[in-house]
Amino acid sequence: MKFLDIKQTPEQQQVVRKIQKSFGTAVGEYKMIEQGDRVALALSGGKDSWTLLHLLIDFQRRVPIKFEVIPITVETGFAGFDANVKKLEQYIEDVLHMKLVVLHDKFPEIIEKHKTPGTSACSFCARMRRGALYTYLQANNINKLALGHHADDAIESMLMSQQFNGVLWTQVPIVKAKDKPVTVIRPLILTYEQQMRDFTAIFKFPVVTCNCPFEGNPAHKRAVVKKQVKNMCEENEAVRGCLLKTCREMFEVIAAKRAARGEEENDDE
Protein backbone atom coordinates (compact mmCIF):
# COMPACT_ATOMS: atom_id res chain seq x y z
CA MET A 1 0.00 0.00 0.00
CA LYS A 2 1.20 3.54 -0.78
CA PHE A 3 0.21 6.90 0.59
CA LEU A 4 1.09 9.67 -1.85
CA ASP A 5 3.43 7.23 -3.62
CA ILE A 6 5.45 6.46 -0.49
CA LYS A 7 5.81 2.81 0.56
CA GLN A 8 5.05 1.80 4.14
CA THR A 9 5.48 -1.18 6.40
CA PRO A 10 2.33 -3.00 7.60
CA GLU A 11 2.56 -1.11 10.92
CA GLN A 12 2.85 2.19 9.13
CA GLN A 13 -0.07 1.28 6.87
CA GLN A 14 -2.19 0.84 9.99
CA VAL A 15 -1.27 4.34 11.17
CA VAL A 16 -2.16 5.76 7.75
CA ARG A 17 -5.48 3.90 7.48
CA LYS A 18 -6.52 5.02 10.96
CA ILE A 19 -5.81 8.68 10.28
CA GLN A 20 -7.46 8.52 6.85
CA LYS A 21 -10.55 7.13 8.57
CA SER A 22 -10.79 9.84 11.25
CA PHE A 23 -10.09 12.53 8.65
CA GLY A 24 -12.67 11.09 6.24
CA THR A 25 -15.28 10.73 8.98
CA ALA A 26 -14.94 14.39 9.94
CA VAL A 27 -15.02 15.62 6.34
CA GLY A 28 -18.05 13.48 5.49
CA GLU A 29 -20.05 13.86 8.69
CA TYR A 30 -19.75 17.65 8.77
CA LYS A 31 -19.86 18.11 4.97
CA MET A 32 -16.64 20.11 4.92
CA ILE A 33 -15.66 19.84 1.25
CA GLU A 34 -17.93 20.24 -1.77
CA GLN A 35 -17.59 20.23 -5.53
CA GLY A 36 -15.66 23.24 -6.80
CA ASP A 37 -14.33 24.37 -3.43
CA ARG A 38 -11.08 26.29 -3.27
CA VAL A 39 -9.54 25.17 0.02
CA ALA A 40 -6.73 27.19 1.55
CA LEU A 41 -4.57 25.26 4.01
CA ALA A 42 -3.00 27.38 6.75
CA LEU A 43 0.50 25.89 6.90
CA SER A 44 2.48 26.83 10.00
CA GLY A 45 5.09 24.14 9.40
CA GLY A 46 4.13 22.16 12.49
CA LYS A 47 3.16 18.48 12.46
CA ASP A 48 -0.58 19.21 12.45
CA SER A 49 -0.66 21.47 9.40
CA TRP A 50 1.77 19.20 7.50
CA THR A 51 -0.46 16.21 8.24
CA LEU A 52 -3.57 18.08 7.14
CA LEU A 53 -1.97 19.20 3.87
CA HIS A 54 -0.96 15.65 2.94
CA LEU A 55 -4.36 14.23 3.91
CA LEU A 56 -6.15 16.84 1.80
CA ILE A 57 -3.97 16.01 -1.21
CA ASP A 58 -4.56 12.28 -0.65
CA PHE A 59 -8.32 12.87 -0.33
CA GLN A 60 -8.26 14.99 -3.49
CA ARG A 61 -6.77 12.04 -5.39
CA ARG A 62 -9.17 9.43 -4.01
CA VAL A 63 -12.61 11.04 -4.24
CA PRO A 64 -14.73 12.08 -7.24
CA ILE A 65 -15.24 15.56 -5.77
CA LYS A 66 -13.18 18.15 -7.62
CA PHE A 67 -11.64 20.79 -5.36
CA GLU A 68 -8.46 22.83 -5.15
CA VAL A 69 -5.88 22.84 -2.32
CA ILE A 70 -3.84 26.01 -1.77
CA PRO A 71 -1.16 25.96 0.95
CA ILE A 72 -0.59 29.37 2.57
CA THR A 73 1.95 30.43 5.20
CA VAL A 74 1.89 33.71 7.10
CA GLU A 75 5.49 34.84 7.51
CA THR A 76 4.99 36.63 10.82
CA GLY A 77 8.27 38.49 11.02
CA PHE A 78 9.59 36.73 14.12
CA ALA A 79 13.38 36.52 13.97
CA GLY A 80 14.57 33.49 12.02
CA PHE A 81 11.16 32.39 10.79
CA ASP A 82 11.95 33.52 7.24
CA ALA A 83 14.58 30.75 7.02
CA ASN A 84 11.97 28.22 8.17
CA VAL A 85 9.56 29.42 5.50
CA LYS A 86 12.23 28.75 2.87
CA LYS A 87 12.32 25.11 4.05
CA LEU A 88 8.55 24.88 3.64
CA GLU A 89 8.69 26.37 0.15
CA GLN A 90 11.43 23.98 -0.95
CA TYR A 91 9.65 20.85 0.32
CA ILE A 92 6.33 21.84 -1.23
CA GLU A 93 7.93 22.58 -4.59
CA ASP A 94 10.34 19.61 -4.70
CA VAL A 95 8.17 16.91 -3.11
CA LEU A 96 4.55 17.97 -3.64
CA HIS A 97 5.13 19.92 -6.87
CA MET A 98 3.01 22.80 -5.63
CA LYS A 99 3.56 26.47 -4.88
CA LEU A 100 3.38 27.85 -1.36
CA VAL A 101 1.68 31.22 -0.99
CA VAL A 102 3.62 33.30 1.55
CA LEU A 103 2.03 36.34 3.21
CA HIS A 104 4.60 38.66 4.79
CA ASP A 105 3.81 40.64 7.94
CA LYS A 106 5.44 42.23 11.01
CA PHE A 107 3.69 40.67 13.99
CA PRO A 108 6.30 41.51 16.69
CA GLU A 109 5.93 45.24 16.06
CA ILE A 110 2.13 45.08 16.03
CA ILE A 111 1.99 42.97 19.21
CA GLU A 112 4.29 45.39 21.01
CA LYS A 113 2.13 48.38 20.07
CA HIS A 114 -1.39 47.05 20.35
CA LYS A 115 -1.68 44.01 22.63
CA THR A 116 -3.89 44.68 25.65
CA PRO A 117 -1.88 44.35 28.89
CA GLY A 118 -2.62 41.13 30.74
CA THR A 119 -3.96 39.32 27.68
CA SER A 120 -2.34 36.42 25.85
CA ALA A 121 0.06 37.22 23.02
CA CYS A 122 -0.91 33.86 21.51
CA SER A 123 -4.58 34.73 21.03
CA PHE A 124 -3.69 38.18 19.70
CA CYS A 125 -1.24 36.63 17.24
CA ALA A 126 -3.85 34.06 16.16
CA ARG A 127 -6.35 36.84 15.38
CA MET A 128 -3.77 38.71 13.29
CA ARG A 129 -2.79 35.56 11.41
CA ARG A 130 -6.44 34.76 10.73
CA GLY A 131 -7.02 38.31 9.58
CA ALA A 132 -4.14 38.12 7.09
CA LEU A 133 -5.51 34.84 5.75
CA TYR A 134 -9.08 36.14 5.42
CA THR A 135 -7.85 39.20 3.51
CA TYR A 136 -5.96 37.03 1.01
CA LEU A 137 -8.79 34.52 0.65
CA GLN A 138 -11.38 37.17 -0.09
CA ALA A 139 -9.12 38.89 -2.62
CA ASN A 140 -8.53 35.58 -4.43
CA ASN A 141 -12.03 34.03 -4.30
CA ILE A 142 -11.04 31.21 -1.97
CA ASN A 143 -14.09 29.99 -0.07
CA LYS A 144 -12.72 27.49 2.48
CA LEU A 145 -9.98 27.79 5.10
CA ALA A 146 -8.69 24.49 6.50
CA LEU A 147 -7.10 24.69 9.94
CA GLY A 148 -5.11 22.00 11.72
CA HIS A 149 -6.97 21.97 15.04
CA HIS A 150 -7.33 18.37 16.21
CA ALA A 151 -9.32 16.41 18.78
CA ASP A 152 -6.98 17.25 21.65
CA ASP A 153 -7.24 20.96 20.80
CA ALA A 154 -11.02 20.72 21.01
CA ILE A 155 -10.84 18.83 24.32
CA GLU A 156 -8.40 21.31 25.84
CA SER A 157 -10.37 24.34 24.61
CA MET A 158 -13.56 22.89 26.10
CA LEU A 159 -11.91 22.43 29.50
CA MET A 160 -10.19 25.83 29.36
CA SER A 161 -13.49 27.55 28.62
CA GLN A 162 -15.18 25.81 31.54
CA GLN A 163 -12.39 26.35 34.06
CA PHE A 164 -11.28 29.87 33.20
CA ASN A 165 -14.34 31.49 31.60
CA GLY A 166 -17.31 29.50 32.90
CA VAL A 167 -18.79 28.97 29.45
CA LEU A 168 -19.47 26.08 27.11
CA TRP A 169 -17.23 26.60 24.07
CA THR A 170 -14.71 24.85 21.90
CA GLN A 171 -13.54 24.86 18.28
CA VAL A 172 -16.24 23.44 16.02
CA PRO A 173 -15.73 21.31 12.87
CA ILE A 174 -17.17 23.81 10.38
CA VAL A 175 -18.33 27.39 10.71
CA LYS A 176 -19.02 30.39 8.50
CA ALA A 177 -16.64 33.21 9.39
CA LYS A 178 -18.36 36.31 10.70
CA ASP A 179 -18.96 38.99 8.05
CA LYS A 180 -16.74 37.17 5.53
CA PRO A 181 -17.47 34.83 2.56
CA VAL A 182 -15.19 32.18 4.03
CA THR A 183 -16.04 28.91 5.75
CA VAL A 184 -13.56 27.56 8.29
CA ILE A 185 -13.16 23.77 8.33
CA ARG A 186 -11.23 21.54 10.73
CA PRO A 187 -10.82 18.12 9.10
CA LEU A 188 -8.60 16.82 11.95
CA ILE A 189 -11.18 17.56 14.65
CA LEU A 190 -11.74 13.81 15.26
CA THR A 191 -8.03 12.91 15.03
CA TYR A 192 -5.85 12.74 18.14
CA GLU A 193 -2.52 14.54 18.43
CA GLN A 194 -0.63 11.27 18.90
CA GLN A 195 -1.88 10.15 15.49
CA MET A 196 -0.23 13.24 13.99
CA ARG A 197 3.02 12.45 15.79
CA ASP A 198 3.01 8.90 14.43
CA PHE A 199 2.08 10.05 10.93
CA THR A 200 4.79 12.72 10.87
CA ALA A 201 7.40 10.21 12.06
CA ILE A 202 6.62 7.99 9.07
CA PHE A 203 6.84 10.67 6.39
CA LYS A 204 9.49 12.87 8.02
CA PHE A 205 7.94 16.20 7.18
CA PRO A 206 10.25 19.24 7.58
CA VAL A 207 8.64 20.39 10.82
CA VAL A 208 9.57 23.92 11.89
CA THR A 209 8.56 26.26 14.70
CA CYS A 210 7.12 29.74 14.34
CA ASN A 211 10.05 31.21 16.30
CA CYS A 212 7.63 33.00 18.62
CA PRO A 213 9.26 33.84 21.99
CA PHE A 214 6.05 32.79 23.78
CA GLU A 215 5.95 29.32 22.22
CA GLY A 216 6.04 26.40 24.66
CA ASN A 217 5.35 28.51 27.76
CA PRO A 218 4.49 25.94 30.50
CA ALA A 219 2.44 28.55 32.36
CA HIS A 220 0.08 29.03 29.42
CA LYS A 221 -3.46 27.93 30.23
CA ARG A 222 -3.46 25.41 27.39
CA ALA A 223 -0.26 23.81 28.68
CA VAL A 224 -1.81 23.56 32.16
CA VAL A 225 -4.97 21.90 30.83
CA LYS A 226 -2.95 19.58 28.57
CA LYS A 227 -1.17 18.33 31.68
CA GLN A 228 -4.49 17.85 33.46
CA VAL A 229 -5.78 15.68 30.62
CA LYS A 230 -2.55 13.68 30.59
CA ASN A 231 -2.87 13.02 34.33
CA MET A 232 -6.51 11.94 33.96
CA CYS A 233 -5.61 9.57 31.14
CA GLU A 234 -2.93 7.96 33.27
CA GLU A 235 -5.63 7.08 35.80
CA ASN A 236 -8.21 6.06 33.19
CA GLU A 237 -7.18 5.46 29.58
CA ALA A 238 -10.79 5.93 28.41
CA VAL A 239 -10.86 9.59 29.49
CA ARG A 240 -9.67 11.08 26.21
CA GLY A 241 -12.30 9.22 24.19
CA CYS A 242 -15.03 10.26 26.62
CA LEU A 243 -13.95 13.88 26.44
CA LEU A 244 -14.02 13.80 22.65
CA LYS A 245 -17.51 12.31 22.80
CA THR A 246 -18.51 15.25 25.01
CA CYS A 247 -16.99 17.64 22.48
CA ARG A 248 -19.04 16.07 19.68
CA GLU A 249 -22.21 16.70 21.66
CA MET A 250 -21.04 20.24 22.35
CA PHE A 251 -20.53 20.82 18.61
CA GLU A 252 -24.27 20.26 18.17
CA VAL A 253 -25.20 22.47 21.14
CA ILE A 254 -23.01 25.34 19.92
CA ALA A 255 -24.40 25.05 16.39
CA ALA A 256 -27.99 24.99 17.66
CA LYS A 257 -27.49 28.04 19.88
CA ARG A 258 -25.82 29.95 17.08
CA ALA A 259 -28.57 29.04 14.61
CA ALA A 260 -31.27 30.10 17.09
CA ARG A 261 -29.62 33.51 17.43
CA GLY A 262 -28.95 33.79 13.71
CA GLU A 263 -25.24 34.21 14.40
CA GLU A 264 -22.10 33.29 12.57
CA GLU A 265 -18.93 32.62 14.50
CA ASN A 266 -16.11 35.05 15.09
CA ASP A 267 -13.77 32.10 15.51
CA ASP A 268 -10.34 33.47 16.46
CA GLU A 269 -8.82 30.58 18.40
Does the annotation place 43 within a ligand binding site?
yes
Longest dimension (CA), the chain: 53
Closest CA to 187 of 171, 177, 170, 173: 173
Residue ranges in the chain assigned as alpha helix (H) = 10-29, 47-62, 81-94, 107-114, 121-139, 151-160, 193-203, 221-235, 239-261
**Is 36 a known ligand-binding residue?**
no
Q: Are 43 and 72 in contact (CB under 8 A)?
A: yes
**Hey, what amino acid is at 127?**
R
44 is in an annotated binding site: yes
Q: How many CB atoms are located within 10 Å of the residue 256 CB?
A: 10
**Single-letter code of the amino acid located at 108:** P
Angle at 24 between CA 18 and CA 30, to 5 degrees: 135
Cα separation values, 205 from 4, 70, 71, 154, Å = 13, 18, 15, 24
151 among annotated binding-site residues: no
Q: Compute the residue count for the chain.
A: 269
What is the Cα–Cα distance from 35 to 4, expressed in whole angstroms?
Answer: 22
Residue 22 is assigned to a ligand binding site? no
Residue set of the binding site for ATP: 42-44, 48, 74, 148, 153
Residue set of the binding site: 42-44, 48, 74, 148, 153
